[in-house]
Amino acid sequence: MTAREKILSKALVTSGLSSAEIDRLLAGLKDRAFFSARCESVRHLQTAQAQVADWLGSAKRADGAFTTRASAVSAIMESARRQGLSTGTGTVADPASAARAKVIVDTNADLARGHVARVQGASTGARLAFPAQELIRAEERQARRDWRGRWTAAGGQLHAGRMIALKEDPVWIAISRFGVPYPPFDYGSGMGVADVDRDTCLRLGVIKDDYRPEGDLIEDFNATLEAQMEFKGAADPGWRFLKDSFGDQVKYDDGKIRWQADIIKDALSNPADIHVGVSPMPEFKGRKLTVPKSDFEHLLIRHVGYKGKPPESSRLTERELQMLPSVWRHPDRVIPQGGTTHWVEYDSADGSVYRIVTDVYPSEVSFRTFYKPDIKQEKKGA
């Protein structure tokens, strides 16, 4: 997985939580989500996610130039202004400020790069040659945090005055504000890691001559993230905090917590009933929408492609399919089509439209399909 793919794999999650409250979230949920403190605009998150991904992938913009950090920051600032999110303060708390946009771009990009580097250095061969890492200053900061104190307080040892630990040492997670064993470790930290070779590790006493790496760094970490998200029941206080904070975006599924998009992601390979959530629109009177297993499978066959077969029409990517809950919860309009049929539409950040087709009855709302219509073609045929 590339850094760009890592960014695009994350579910878009709106949140009214502050940065401090987000810190309380389980690392497994944060690792799977793309969100920003006190941002409840899906469209703005779409823009931010796409801009970070385009910068990491050196994508070309509409004017033919490559996406740069500066252009990504500018696009995110403009998106916040268009969505009416600006507070006018210009501080990092202002979604339309350069400071806030830079935090979004740099933090997400650095975490994605850190994840990729971790995977690349996790093989047995790589760990034999470079068993350990050193916490180093990768970028200068005017006001430096006390990383040496943070390191030792988290149980890290100093070797010849250097902050070095085996790659599997829990200190890497302990020093991270994000709960992951790779940099950046905190917002704007400027800290990174450098591999430490076997000979240096032996000389400094980090390892003994018979050292052999144990376990799988990636599988073990993923298992830890999964275990974190197990709850004893729906009455668990941790689950109640998540439900109160994120509503229908988070699901209690078979004893574990999942973002709604993760439920849909699982159903791509094993179709199941999808309980999308409650609509805020008066036309639906707060009713829930459920996509039955048979309809979900039909949706995959028709618009996404299923079991290696191409879609029958109107291509939807797997990532776009995960927008279904957001379209239901944050539609731009509901358009009656006569009889029981209603279109629920959402204008995407890239200018396209997502559409859920429903039938509205006195006691329920029935799902029919979800797709991206060709608006220009529809206007021609009107």
Residues 106-149: pLDDT tens digits?
999 999 999 999 999 999 999 999 999 999 999 888 888 899 99
* DSSP tag of 76: H
pLDDT band at 83 (very low <50, low <70, confident <90, very high): very high
Instruction: Report the pLDDT value the prediction gives residue 212, as an integer from 0 to 100.
Output: 94
pLDDT tens, residue by residue, 96-115: 999 999 999 999 999 999 99
Q: Give percent of the chain with pLDDT exceeding 90.
A: 69
CA–CA distance, 177 with 258 (Å, rounded to integer): 21
Instruction: Report the pLDDT value the prediction gives residue 16, as an integer from 0 to 100.
Output: 92
Q: How many angstroms separate the first and last alpha carbons of the chain? A: 44
H or E element, residue 10: none
pLDDT band at 319 (very low <50, low <70, confident <90, very high): confident
Instruction: Report the pLDDT value the prediction gives residue 18, as an integer from 0 to 100.
Output: 92
Average pLDDT of the segment spanning 349-362: 93
| Buried/exposed 198-230: b ≥16 CB within 10 Å, e otherwise | bebbeeeebbeeebebeeebeeebeeebeebbe
Pick the more confident residue, 303 or 194: 194
Instruction: Report the pLDDT value the prediction gives residue 232, as an integer from 0 to 100.
Output: 73
Instruction: Report the pLDDT value the prediction gives residue 125, as an integer from 0 to 100.
Output: 95
Burial class (CB in 10 A: 0-12, 13-18, 19+), 152: middle
Q: What angle do CA 172, 176, 181 make, to 5 degrees?
A: 40
CA–CA distance, 115 with 278 (Å, rounded to integer): 35
pLDDT band at 270 (very low <50, low <70, confident <90, very high): confident
Q: DSSP labels for 160-171? A: TTEEEEETT-TH
H or E element, residue 327: helix 324-329
Average pLDDT of the segment spanning 23-39: 92
Contacts of 56 (CB under 8 A, 6+ apart): 2, 3, 4, 7, 109, 112, 113
Instruction: Report the pLDDT value the prediction gives residue 291, as an integer from 0 to 100.
Output: 95
Best mean pLDDT range from 13-22, 143-152, 192-201: 192-201
Q: Domains of the chain: which residue ranges?
A: 1-120, 123-229, 232-381
Contacts of 193 (CB under 8 A, 6+ apart): 117, 133, 134, 135, 136, 182, 183
pLDDT at residue 382 greater than cutoff 70 = no
CA–CA distance, 202 with 372 (Å, rounded to integer): 59
* DSSP tag of 198: H
* DSSP tag of 157: P
pLDDT band at 287 (very low <50, low <70, confident <90, very high): confident
* DSSP tag of 67: P
CA–CA distance, 229 with 253 (Å, rounded to integer): 10
For tokens 């943070």, name the residue. 150
pLDDT at residue 207 greater than cutoff 70 = yes
**Mean pLDDT score of the chain, rounded to an integer?**
92
pLDDT band at 61 (very low <50, low <70, confident <90, very high): confident
Q: Which amino acid is at 192?
A: G
CA–CA distance, 263 with 229 (Å, rounded to integer): 14
pLDDT tens, residue by residue, 154-184: 999 999 999 999 999 999 999 999 999 999 9
